[in-house]
């Protein structure tokens, strides 16, 4: 051993071993995560495409349903916008009809000229009112002779009537109205229960 080596304390120290953690980290550089190892990128893209397509179709279906619902609500609003106003006018139509029916079976016979003109004015007013209601979708129900419909008619009584089949309207107590196919006020009617049953013949008295 020469003098230089004796004076240098690091000369006889063995070389340091590489850091275990540093070596381990270096060995892992470039490795892929275990869950994506071996995955086909084409398959991943295809799955993502199908998922996006499904979301798109669902969104389009929701938008179409919304469009149809909005269109239906707009149509209903137009059709039934005058419902409240029309219902209030039905009382006016009823009073005009009662005024004309108060003349009885004789009608205008025996009335003076002035009264006849007034009656004609009431008739004209009633016709114009019914025409105006019809123009706005309010239809007058005339169920006499028709089969009783619980959706449009309200039965007030039932009576035998040989001229009408059972379950048919034989009398109209109050006129009904419908708006765009929906009942505004049901017609108050009388319904036939069919022909009256014949009374049984009295028992014959025994001959004495």
Q: What is the mean pLDDT of residues 168-172?
A: 94
Task: Please give the DSSP secondary-structure letter assigned to residue 159.
Answer: E
Angle between helices 113-135 and 83-101 (to 10 degrees): 150
Token reading at 112:
């003076």
**Contact by Cβ (8 Å): 92, 125:** no
**Segment 38-52, tens digit of pLDDT:** 678 888 898 999 999
pLDDT attached to residue 200: 56
HSE toward the beta carbon, residue 173, CA cutoff 13 A: 12
Furthest C-alpha separation in the chain = 176
Length of the chain: 208
18 has which bridge partners?
Answer: none
Residue 178, number of CB atoms within 10 A of its CB: 18
Q: Is 104 left (phi over 0), alpha (psi -120 to 50) or beta?
A: left
Q: Which residue has the higher pLDDT, 94 or 202?
A: 94
Domains in the chain (CATH in brackets) are 83-192 (2.30.22.10)
- Please report, rounded to a whole number, the percentage of residues in the chain having pLDDT higher than 70: 74
| Rounded distance between C-alpha atoms, residue 163 and residue 151, angstroms | 24
pLDDT value of position 196: 67
Lowest-confidence pick of 25-39, 100-114, 193-207 = 25-39
**Cα–Cα–Cα angle for 147, 130, 89, rounded to 5 degrees:** 100
Q: Which two tokens stand for residue 59?
A: 């969104």
Confidence of residue 106 (pLDDT cuts 50, 70, 90): low
Measure the CA–CA gap between 72 and 70, rounded to whole angstroms: 5
- With DSSP H G I counted as helix, E B as strand and the rest as coil, what are the percentages for the chain, rounded to 5? 45, 15, 40
State the DSSP code for 108: T
Looking at the DSSP bridge assignments, the partners of residue 183 are: 178
């Amino acid at each position: 051993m020469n003098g230089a080596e004796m004076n240098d304390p690091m000369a006889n120290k063995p070389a340091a071993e590489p850091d275990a953690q540093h070596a381990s980290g270096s060995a892992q550089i470039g490795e892929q995560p275990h869950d994506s190892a071996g995955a086909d990128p084409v398959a991943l893209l295809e799955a993502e495409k199908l998922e996006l397509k499904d979301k798109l179709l669902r969104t389009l279906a929701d938008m179409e349903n919304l469009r149809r619902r909005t269109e239906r609500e707009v149509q209903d609003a137009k059709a039934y916008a005058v419902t409240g106003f029309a219902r209030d006018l039905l009382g006016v139509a009823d009073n005009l009809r009662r005024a004309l029916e108060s003349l009885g079976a004789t009608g205008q016979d025996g009335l003076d000229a002035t009264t006849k003109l007034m009656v004609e004015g009431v008739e004209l007013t009633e016709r114009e009112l019914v025409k105006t209601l019809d123009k706005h979708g309010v239809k007058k129900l005339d169920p006499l002779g028709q089969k009783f419909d619980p959706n449009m008619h309200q039965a007030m009584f039932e009576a035998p009537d040989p001229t009408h089949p059972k379950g048919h309207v034989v009398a109209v107590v109050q006129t009904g109205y419908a708006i765009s196919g929906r009942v505004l006020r049901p017609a108050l009617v009388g319904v036939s229960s069919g022909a009256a049953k014949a009374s049984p013949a009295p028992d014959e008295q025994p001959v004495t």
